[in-house]
């Protein structure tokens, strides 16, 4: 792996995933998924494992894609259902709605916190002339960033609502990241991606981004796709200032 540094003579913008990178919400997502899947799996299969099932099949994917991917790993097929299914109905939409309801109840009750090291990095990047964007596959991405009080640190946000409106595929497809960079009017080669989930790390490499940083807080990612791996963004140095594009 390379030295943990963002060189702003080469990188002019940085795109941050939201859950687990900007907001300390990954544990809440994982706990909500475990609650929903364990209730569904009872009598069908082994319980949902956060260290294995969540990281391998669910983390970083759009909600419904995560359900399909996980159930496929267990050899379970469910009907798709519909967005107006009752939460907890044994359909893809029903399980997704149950998880969403449980997670948002936690958010409303306890709020959302931003990682201090991420906030410090964002301030430093912007001080040195870099542009920043937040990306989230969640329909609640904007609400989470706003609740964490860090909206002012981003030039723009691309979330699940944008993906739905534009029919953008979810990670590991790089479409969400590429849309953020398109709005920032920079080529991917001059932008960085900061991710904490395997599908997002893969998306960054597939999208041709000049720098892919993996935040491996628990030593579980073991990804060869990232250019740099850190356990916390406080380990990541910033060098130089953003230079203007030349023709």
The crossing angle, in degrees rounded to 10, of helices 175-184 and 198-206 is: 60
Which pLDDT value is given to residue 3? 81
Residue 1 has pLDDT above 70, yes or no: no
172 cis-preceded (ω within 30 degrees of 0)? yes
Residue with the bigger pLDDT between 220 and 186: it is 186
Structural domain range at position 203: 5-25+112-239
Which pLDDT value is given to residue 245? 58
Is position 19 annotated as part of the catalytic site? yes
User: Phi then psi for 175, rounded to 5 degrees?
Assistant: -55, -45
C-alpha closest to that of 129 among 4, 14, 2: 14
Looking at 7, 19, 24, 159, which residue is catalytic? 19
pTM of the model: 0.89
CA-to-CA dists, residue 67 to 42, 142, 163, 170, angstroms: 16, 22, 18, 13
Task: Based on the fold, state whether residues 116 and 106 are members of the same structural domain.
Answer: no
Mean pLDDT within 1-21: 92
C-alpha closest to that of 57 among 182, 197, 164, 179: 197
User: What is the residue-averaged pLDDT of the chain?
Assistant: 93
> Which of 87, 110, 133 is the last residue in one of the domains?
110
Task: Based on the fold, state whether residues 93 and 117 are members of the same structural domain.
Answer: no
């Amino acid at each position: 792996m390379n030295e943990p540094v963002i060189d702003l003579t080469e990188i002019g913008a940085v795109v941050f995933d939201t859950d687990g990178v900007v907001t300390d919400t990954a544990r809440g997502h994982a706990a909500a998924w475990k609650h929903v899947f364990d209730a569904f799996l009872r009598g069908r299969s082994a319980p949902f494992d956060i260290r294995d099932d969540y990281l391998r099949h669910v983390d970083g994917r759009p909600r419904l894609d995560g359900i399909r991917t996980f159930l496929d790993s267990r050899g379970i097929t469910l009907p798709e259902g519909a967005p107006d299914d009752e939460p907890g109905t044994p359909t893809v939409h029903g399980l997704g709605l149950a998880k969403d309801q449980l997670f948002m109840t936690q958010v409303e009750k306890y709020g959302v916190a931003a990682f201090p090291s991420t906030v410090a990095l964002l301030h430093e990047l912007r001080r040195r002339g870099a542009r920043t964007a937040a990306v989230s596959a969640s329909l609640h991405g904007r609400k989470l960033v706003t609740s964490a009080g860090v909206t002012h640190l981003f030039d723009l946000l691309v979330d699940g609502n944008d993906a739905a409106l534009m029919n953008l595929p979810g990670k590991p497809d790089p479409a969400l990241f590429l849309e953020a960079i398109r709005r920032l009017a920079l080529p991917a080669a001059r932008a960085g991606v900061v991710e904490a989930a395997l599908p997002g790390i893969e998306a960054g490499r597939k999208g041709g981004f000049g720098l892919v940083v993996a935040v491996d807080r628990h030593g579980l990612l073991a990804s060869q796709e990232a250019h740099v791996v850190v356990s916390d963004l406080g380990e990541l140095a910033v060098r130089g200032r953003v230079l203007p594009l030349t023709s």
